[in-house]
Structure 1
Amino acid sequence: MGTYFRVQTADRNPADLLDPGYQFSHAYNGNTTLTREGVSVCTTLEELAEYLESGLAGALTVRDGGWVIVELEADEIPDAHPVDAEYEQLVRPTAIVSVTPVGDDFLALLDEKADFFAGFASNDWDD
């Protein structure tokens, strides 16, 4: 069992994450063939911010408000196959540790990660 982080819309009840009937991950692009057993999480806030800014999280717009960060305890799912194994893990939540609105500290972390990825788009280092 470990502690993990995810973002979700503030209008979604975090307690639903503890219900096995809701413990499925769906692709952000709506592709139902990518539905997997387990709740999609990252192991740290830094990984979550990097995942969101990498473009791999689809069109999530947590900067627009209405989002929360859910910290939870969970059991890993053996042999899980997340869509993006570099950042994402699939788990079975066992307890909600905290639910906090996406705030200035996390937005600053997103900005830091956005700057990091912007450096790869620059041609300055290609010389």
Structure 2
Amino acid sequence: MSERYYRVQTAARDVNELLDPGYQFSHAYNGNTALTREGVSVCADLDDLAEYLMSGMAGALNVRDGGWVIVEVEADEIADARPVDGEYELLVRPTAIISVTPVGDDFLALLDEKEAFLASFLDTPAFDD
């Protein structure tokens, strides 16, 4: 059964490629081809997408600099997929493009919120032994 998922990508990339099995691969941002996986990398919701982007697992991807879109897809999750980041990332086979929205102020505010949330863990004082 298809579900809805979210991803961010450069606006210059043709979103219709996501529906082409020849392009349904996830590549590591560091260029390590050994980490290439079958399936398109997505997150279950916008909260997870924002947290993923702020966690550092998305590499140096900077969606704040413009030219990025949020793509909502209908897709089938790949059974037994092993994404690089299993906490946020899912690997799917898209079956339909639901929407393509430029990264805007609401999503940028969500990024700020997630960045502050993740930073709060770094500010926690260590326990004395």
Partner residue in 2 for 1:81:
82
Partner residue in 1 for 2:11:
10
| Letter of the structure 2 residue corresponding to residue 17 of structure 1 | L
Partner residue in 1 for 2:126:
126
| Letter of the structure 2 residue corresponding to residue 126 of structure 1 | A
| Letter of the structure 2 residue corresponding to residue 48 of structure 1 | L
Q: Distance in 2 between matches of 1:102 and 1:95?
A: 20
Partner residue in 1 for 2:63:
62
Q: Distance in 1 between matches of 2:39 and 2:126?
A: 41
The runs of 5 or more residues in structure 2 that have no matched partner are none
The runs of 5 or more residues in structure 1 that have no matched partner are none
Task: Provide the identity percentage.
Answer: 74
Q: Distance in 2 between matches of 1:28 and 1:68?
A: 17
Q: Runs ≥4 in structure 1, deviation > 4 angstroms?
A: none
TM-score, with structure 1 as normaliser: 0.96
Shift of 1:118: 1.2
What SS is found at the alignment partner of 1:71?
Answer: strand
Deviations 1:40-99 (A, max 9, x none): 000000000000001111110000111000000001111111011110000000000000
TM-score, with structure 2 as normaliser: 0.95
